[in-house]
Structure 1
Amino acid sequence: MPGAGWRHLADRWLLLLAAIALAASLFDPGVMTQRPLVDHVVVIDVTQSMNVTDERIDGEPVSRLAFAKQALRQSLLRMPCGSKVGWAVFTEYRALLLLSPIEVCANLKELRSTLARIDTRMAWSGNSEIAKGLHSAIGIAKLLPDKPSLVFVTDGQEAPPLNPRYRPAFDDKPGDVAGLIVGVGDLRPSPIPKTDQEGNPLGFWRPDEVAQTDLRSQGRNASVRSEGMVDDVAGTNAPTLGATPGSEHMSALRESYLRLLAGEQGLEFVRLQSPERLAQALMAPALTRPEPARFSLAGVLAAVAWGLLVARYALSLRVRRRASRAGLKTRAS
């Protein structure tokens, strides 16, 4: 039959090349390359305003904390193996490290389990001093061996409110720690759930139960109502910190304040609106480190061997069909 010799030769070559590729894959060859990895310590705000249910998951209302945890959980799956993540919590005026950064692929179960257990019952105080907490978180990142980048997750509500003229001053060097502030929550204010120490609901915080003005200003009126204090005049152009006197028992994302803090510390800011957006921000080039990595070719060679065997089978099937058609024509004639 014309072409039979060529097809037989092709069949042998396909089988030989498949065998060579499969044998080579057993030696697990590889090439060295550079891949971007991340090393994050993620600090999560666990104060009671993070219980505000102004976020949604699958159309159902959830708390800010639940929404942030779900986004972080999904982001772990998008990080390349070799990346590291650790967890910390923030309340009052400091951050507390729970788990130092560990490799995500080998420790995915442990990372998810630890994240699932983070909630507002961990808070040891009702205060939420964001600027001081951020300073404390930066200190944690500096002290960790590999100097990880910082991811600070919060709604940005200072409680008690800060006087913009007397903000706390720190010696942090902007850019000394790379990182990201993640803002959580709606821009519209919502009531803050009130809970006991066990996390049981007690309704919502009332105006008379929450500090509505900064503590420094309380009791500092001049002897004449229209008369101002001398040091108040100097701070006329002080930046706004998002405080809402009279409505501090309500909570909304203080985006402008968090952007201010991020700019002062050399950090990036992102508003958490979807897990995909967070994962993208966590893998931003400014937060990745190029690390040498070995790329295994075993899988590629095995796929090549499989493709060659499929091609050989397809060629054999085509030959049999042609032979069958030729036989039918012969009988018909």
Structure 2
Amino acid sequence: MSGDAVSWFDKARRWWPGPGRRALPAAVLLLALAVLDVTVPLELARPEAVVVLDVTQSMDVADVPLDGRTVSRLALARAALHDALGRLPCGSRIGLGLFTEHRSVLLLTPLEVCEHLRELREALARIDGRMAWSGNSEVAKGLNSALRLARALPEQPALVFVTDGHEAPPLNPRYRPPLDTESGREAGWLLGVGGLQLSPIPRSDPQGRPLGFWNASEVLQVEPFSRGRGGSVEGERMVEEAGPAPPDLGATPGREHLSALREPYLRRLSQEAGLRYARLQSASQLLSLLQDPAHARRQRERVSLRPWLALAALALLVARHLGPFRRPAGRHGRSR
């Protein structure tokens, strides 16, 4: 090796921020900056959404897996949201609502998840079937109501509506409620939850105590219009005139006391409402859906460099004291 090359190598070693003389001062400087908590302004995308959970009785059907056991549809939805709340980045804002009968109700407007994690989780833990004030489950109307709720909020957050799609009473396709949507605006997610096999629907009293299962004679098996209406003559029944074959909305006449995820119907609703559809199958899945960039709100934040500065300082100190990485003195001589 020539003398000029050796001289250049020695100078580089002295300035290299590794196990050399400059490592300790550099580490001290980095630690000082970490103590001062240096920040930089960045524009970040943060989730902002209102999550509305269906609390009607079909959501109590236990037919979905969670951590190796079978739980109710509502239990899976709550577990998924509980997990996501603790893992969303600070600055994310989540609101809570519930659907029952034909309406959705807002419980909490979107709150920052780090500052209000305890309040959000406590409210979530109290959402169950006891909050339902009616046995009806008019999903399309409830979805429409939730869309309006989200749109009325100042920031117009995304909507995440979680349901099994079970309409009770069954819906007449000719009298479907129109969805109040905004053209060209993707409003969020419609999440289906539930097994694909029909299962009995649990009954419970207003305090949530189990009363067995609904049977066929206790549940309306066809939509009311098909049953007819009173005529002008006593005892006469009038029914709606037959028309073109309506699209299938997932109704199961004679088996409406049983329930399964009505995925084709929910896919149809999602398209009509300007939502994206997904089947909720795991607790971790909801986190990725909430972090969808299409539904994030961009905001400027000052991001702390403290963790990175401290990590870099630690790396320098470790490198400085690692003997195997030191080159023994006197190894380099001038070549002739």
TM-score (norm 1): 0.86
Alpha-carbon distance in 2 for matches of 1:317, 1:246: 77
CA apart distance, 1:91: 0.3
Which amino acid in 2 is paired with 1:47? T
Task: Out of 243-252 and 141-150, give the one that drifted further.
Answer: 141-150
Alpha-carbon distance in 1 for matches of 2:214, 2:93: 38
1:151 to 132, 157, 160: 160
Structure 1 pair 309–209 and aligned structure 2 pair: CA distance change class (3 A): same
Partner of 2:290: 282
Partner of 1:166: 175
Alpha-carbon distance in 1 for matches of 2:50, 2:195: 25
Partner of 1:232: 242
Task: Out of 298-307 and 78-87, give the one that drifted further.
Answer: 298-307
Instruction: Confirm or deny that 1:128 pairs with 2:137.
Output: yes
Which amino acid in 1 is paired with 2:262? R
C-alpha deviations, 1:123-171, integer Å up to 9, x for none? 0000000011011111111111211111101000000001112212244
Which amino acid in 2 is paired with 1:209? E
1:110 to 119, 126, 130: 119
CA apart distance, 1:231: 4.1
C-alpha deviations, 1:214-259, integer Å up to 9, x for none? 011112699xxxxx977422xx242211000000000000111111
Instruction: Confirm or deny that 1:24 pairs with 2:30.
Output: no
Alpha-carbon distance in 2 for matches of 1:40, 1:199: 29
Give SS of 1:97's match: strand
Structure 1: gaps spanning 5 or more residues: 223-227, 324-333
Partner of 1:78: 87
Give SS of 1:203's match: strand
CA apart distance, 1:277: 2.3
Which amino acid in 2 is paired with 1:188? Q
1:87 to 77, 93, 96: 96
Structure 1 pair 45–230 and aligned structure 2 pair: CA distance change class (3 A): closer
Structure 1 pair 303–170 and aligned structure 2 pair: CA distance change class (3 A): closer
- Report if the CA contact (8 A) 1:165-1:232 is conserved: no
Alpha-carbon distance in 2 for matches of 1:110, 1:273: 26
CA apart distance, 1:200: 0.7
Alpha-carbon distance in 1 for matches of 2:213, 2:239: 36
- Report if the CA contact (8 A) 1:92-1:124 is conserved: yes
Give SS of 2:21's match: helix
The two structures, once aligned, show a CA RMSD in angstroms of 2.6
Identity %: 52
Which amino acid in 1 is paired with 2:149? I
Alpha-carbon distance in 2 for matches of 1:51, 1:174: 35
CA apart distance, 1:175: 4.9
Structure 1 pair 162–76 and aligned structure 2 pair: CA distance change class (3 A): same
Instruction: Confirm or deny that 1:137 pairs with 2:146.
Output: yes
Partner of 1:260: 268
- Report if the CA contact (8 A) 1:207-1:248 is conserved: yes
CA apart distance, 1:293: 2.4
Give SS of 1:275's match: coil
Partner of 1:246: 254
Structure 1 pair 199–178 and aligned structure 2 pair: CA distance change class (3 A): same
Alpha-carbon distance in 1 for matches of 2:294, 2:61: 31
Alpha-carbon distance in 2 for matches of 1:66, 1:161: 25
Alpha-carbon distance in 2 for matches of 1:8, 1:278: 51
Structure 1 pair 57–44 and aligned structure 2 pair: CA distance change class (3 A): same
C-alpha deviations, 1:306-333, integer Å up to 9, x for none? 12211222249968xx79xxxxxxxxxx
Partner of 2:23: 14
1:183 to 166, 183, 192: 192
Alpha-carbon distance in 2 for matches of 1:67, 1:316: 52
Which amino acid in 1 is paired with 2:242? D
C-alpha deviations, 1:61-120, integer Å up to 9, x for none? 111100111111112233211000011111000011111110011111111111111100
